[in-house]
Structure formats: structure tokens, C-alpha cells
């Protein structure tokens, strides 16, 4: 029976699935098990990285120093140069930054 199904599947170029429901279920279960194992391995790696302190630099980078006044004015100047801010908007924003 297996040879007949195989030949029929080859003859139809795989367009028709001649597998039984039991075979389809077993294939789906195996695929799910492989996915679960892969996910478990990834979670174990992630937990190991967290335990080793790999997450610390990210937290430190998130608490960066606030931008300086000069860098903020430079950013505003770049926006003005790009045409996003008009000269009057640039001057008003610069005055707000300088006055605190």
C-alpha cells in the first residue's frame, strides 16, 4: 500500500496528498515538538545571557546623560537647515532652550 501511495504522489507531482490522517497527525506532532525544543533552547540561551549580566549594558545605555545645550541647539539648526523649522521657529526654540 505504501508503494502505491508513493507512486501516486510522484505521478501527481505532490499535488495530491495521499497520506493517511494518522500520518498527517504524526507529522504535525513531530513538527510541533521540534518547534517546542527550538523555543526551549532559545529561552535557555536568553536566561543564561540574563544571568551572566549581558542585559546590564543595555540598561546602562538607556540611562544616558541628557543632551547638552549645544547639542540641542545644533539639532535645531539641523532641522532649520532641512527646512523643517523656519528661521523664526528656530529662534523661538533656541530662546526657550537658553532661558531654561
Around Cβ 80, how many Cβ atoms within 10 Å? 17
Q: Over its length of 100 residues, how does the chain's per-residue pLDDT go in tens digits?
A: 567 766 766 677 666 666 677 787 888 888 888 888 899 898 888 888 888 875 555 555 566 678 889 999 999 999 999 999 999 999 999 999 898 7
Residue 4, C-alpha cell as written in the block: 502505491
Parse the chain into domains and list their residue ranges.
1-64, 65-100
Count Cβ atoms below 10 Å from residue 48 Cβ, excluding itself.
10
Helix (H) or strand (E) holding 53: none
Amino acid at each position: 500500500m505504501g508503494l502505491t501511495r508513493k507512486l501516486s504522489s510522484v505521478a501527481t507531482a505532490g499535488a495530491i496528498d495521499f497520506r493517511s490522517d494518522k500520518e498527517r497527525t504524526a507529522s504535525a506532532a513531530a513538527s510541533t515538538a521540534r518547534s517546542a525544543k527550538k523555543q526551549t533552547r532559545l529561552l535557555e540561551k536568553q536566561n543564561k545571557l540574563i544571568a551572566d549580566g549581558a542585559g546590564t549594558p543595555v540598561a546602562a545605555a538607556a540611562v544616558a546623560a541628557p543632551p547638552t545645550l549645544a547639542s540641542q541647539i545644533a539639532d535645531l539648526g539641523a532641522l532649520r537647515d532641512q527646512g523643517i523649522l523656519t528661521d523664526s521657529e528656530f529662534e523661538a526654540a533656541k530662546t526657550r532652550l537658553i532661558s531654561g
